[in-house]
Amino acid sequence: MTVLHENLLNLTPDEAKSRLGVVVAELGQPAYRVAQILRRLWHLPAASFNDMTELPAPLRAELELRFSLPRLAMTARQESKDGTQKFLFRLHDGEAIETVAIPDGGRVTLCISSQAGCALKCAFCATGAMGFSRNLEVHEIAGQVREMRLLDPPVNVTNIVFMGMGEPMMNWKAVDPTLTLLNDPRALGIGARHITISTVGVLPGIVALGQRAEQFRLAISIHAPTDELRQQLMPINTKFPLAEVIEAAKVFDRRVTFEYVMLGGVNDGVEQARELARLARECRAFVNLIPLHPGGGQGFVPTSGNEISRFARLLRDRDVEVAVRKSRGIDIAAACGQLRVERLGRRAPRAAEQNGDVQVA
Ligand code: SAH
């Protein structure tokens, strides 16, 4: 039987602390080593145990025998004229995911993926078009932030949005402990209010997020103010219909954001603005209007800038707070799933392409 190295990066800080506590004691090392090692998992991440030079070499060797600190292999890195950076990571089984870093003033928002591919098939989304491969593990989700800290120079992430590939609430089992790693000061230490989970409206996920004590933010992809239209754009609406999603937003104990991608001639009419305003007021939601990124699903055209402003005004006139999201990284196709589609075509990647090296392209 092969002995698997235990992956320390799939553990929450409490779990890692107790595992390391046992091993450090077994090895006859002083207890303060535990905090030293813990700090090098996420806070000041080490690329390998060998890089933890503050530890004695024999201890590093012992840790190496027992544990692993898996990296994500960066196979592409592109930078937009506006400073947005897009990263493609290859996972151990050949799957590929993408991460986007968006600088804005003093902030850097990292848009992270929670699944390889996505099962939900929203009509305008590039990830939906590629289909679902698998859920990401805890270390693969939080690892996207860890890899930013390991760059030279590091990208200092201040905000997180779960708006990359996948539906986070369909992978709650991994997203839940990942939120702990992102937020815990012993791990990545990002404030809960700076972490946003975006969902199509998976009701059990919204309830679970609401039950967490931290003030994580919730964004819901609404995209249409009626069931009839929403069903056409988002097949998940048959399972979680609009009225129930709105109800869940209403009882969520923090303010929610509605995301609304502007699809020319489809969901951007005056009547739709009125309906959307009514729904937003019902749950005191903040509305984020998103210009359609080209290259998602086929057959849609973006609403013009002027028309988006007009739509926003209609909402504001009805006492709804609204912002128009800036399109970032258009020249590097930095919308959901687009880097992977560009690089790999629409087929799933094969394991044979796997290359464990970290190469910065
Ligand atoms: N599955 C989650 C999170 C990932 S998508 C969700 O749907 O909320 C993050 C946001 O990007 C969603 O609001 C999604 O609808 C939007 N999006 C997808 N494709 C897009 C495109 N081509 N242009 C603009 N926004 C898009």
State which of 34, 51, 68 marks the end of a domain. 68
Do 129 and 198 belong together in one domain? Answer: yes
Annotation says 283 is catalytic: no
Q: Which of 138, 95, 146 is nearest to 117 (CA)?
A: 95
Which is catalytic among the residues 122, 125, 283, 336? 336
Determine phi and psi for 192, rounding to 5 degrees: -60, -35
Answer whether 109's CB lies under 8 Å from 159's CB. yes
What's the average model confidence in pLDDT over 227-243?
A: 98
Do 130 and 255 belong together in one domain? Answer: yes
H-run or E-run covering 30: none
- Asked whether residue 337 carries a pLDDT value surpassing 70, the answer given is no
What span, in angstroms and rounded, lies between the C-alpha atoms of 120 and 235? 7
The pLDDT of residue 346 is 41
Do 102 and 37 belong together in one domain? Answer: no
- Which amino acid does the sequence have at 3? V
- Asked whether residue 348 carries a pLDDT value surpassing 60, the answer given is no
Tell me what percent of the residues of the chain surpass a pLDDT of 90: 85
Probe ligand 1: pick from 114, 165, 169, 221, max atoms within 8 Å of CB?
A: 221
Q: Is residue 1 one of the residues assigned to a domain?
A: no
The pLDDT of residue 336 is 54
Nearest CA residue ID for atom 3, ligand 1: 163
Do 185 and 92 belong together in one domain? Answer: yes
State which of 68, 91, 108 marks the end of a domain. 68
The pLDDT of residue 260 is 98
Distances, alpha carbon 321 to alpha carbons 71, 203, 208, in Å: 41, 24, 26
Do 38 and 135 belong together in one domain? Answer: no
Q: Is residue 360 one of the residues assigned to a domain?
A: no
Task: Return the bridge partners of 78, or none.
Answer: 86
Do 29 and 94 belong together in one domain? Answer: no
- Asked whether residue 351 carries a pLDDT value surpassing 70, the answer given is no
Range of the domain at 39: 7-68
pLDDT tens track for 89-99: 999 999 999 99
Distances, alpha carbon 220 to alpha carbons 49, 181, 291, in Å: 40, 23, 16
Can you read off the two tokens belonging to residue 175? 């997203």
pLDDT band with cut points at 50, 70 and 90 for residue 353: very low
Q: How many residues does the chain have?
A: 361
The pLDDT of residue 101 is 97
- Asked whether residue 354 carries a pLDDT value surpassing 70, the answer given is no
Q: Is residue 102 one of the residues assigned to a domain?
A: yes
Count of the separate structural domains present in the chain: 2
pLDDT tens track for 263-289: 999 999 999 999 999 999 999 999 999
Q: Is residue 153 one of the residues assigned to a domain?
A: yes
Q: Which of 78, 115, 67 is nearest to 95 (CA)?
A: 115
Q: Answer with the residue of higher pLDDT: 324 or 350.
A: 324
Answer whether 219's CB lies under 8 Å from 259's CB. yes
Q: Is residue 29 one of the residues assigned to a domain?
A: yes
- Asked whether residue 243 carries a pLDDT value surpassing 80, the answer given is yes
Nearest CA residue ID for atom 5, ligand 1: 163
Which is catalytic among the residues 62, 95, 98, 259? 98
CATH code of residue 166:
3.20.20.70
Do 121 and 199 belong together in one domain? Answer: yes
What span, in angstroms and rounded, lies between the C-alpha atoms of 258 and 322? 9
Probe ligand 1: pick from 110, 127, 163, 230, max atoms within 8 Å of CB?
A: 163
Average pLDDT, the chain: 91
CATH code of residue 53:
1.10.150.530
pLDDT band with cut points at 50, 70 and 90 for residue 349: very low
Can you read off the two tokens belonging to residue 32? 């303060």
Nearest CA residue ID for atom 24, ligand 1: 292
Distances, alpha carbon 111 to alpha carbons 12, 130, 233, 301, 350, in Å: 21, 19, 23, 24, 25
Annotation says 336 is catalytic: yes
Q: In terms of DSSP H, where are the helices of 50-199?
A: 57-66, 126-130, 138-150, 172-183
pLDDT band with cut points at 50, 70 and 90 for residue 295: confident
Do 48 and 131 belong together in one domain? Answer: no
pLDDT band with cut points at 50, 70 and 90 for residue 171: very high
Q: Is residue 310 one of the residues assigned to a domain?
A: yes
pLDDT tens track for 250-263: 999 999 999 999 99
Tell me what percent of the residues of the chain surpass a pLDDT of 70: 91
Annotate 190-216 with three-state secondary structure: CCHHHEEEEECCCHHHHHHHHHCCCCC
Distances, alpha carbon 285 to alpha carbons 237, 240, 288, 326, 329, in Å: 19, 18, 10, 19, 27
How close is the Cα of 76 to the center of ligand 1, in Å?
22
The pLDDT of residue 359 is 24
Do 195 and 275 belong together in one domain? Answer: yes
Instruction: Give pTM, 2 decimals.
Output: 0.92
Do 53 and 189 belong together in one domain? Answer: no
State which of 41, 68, 95 marks the end of a domain. 68
Q: Is residue 345 one of the residues assigned to a domain?
A: yes
Q: Is residue 103 one of the residues assigned to a domain?
A: yes
Do 101 and 167 belong together in one domain? Answer: yes
Do 59 and 146 belong together in one domain? Answer: no
Atom of ligand 1 nearest to the CA of 219: 8
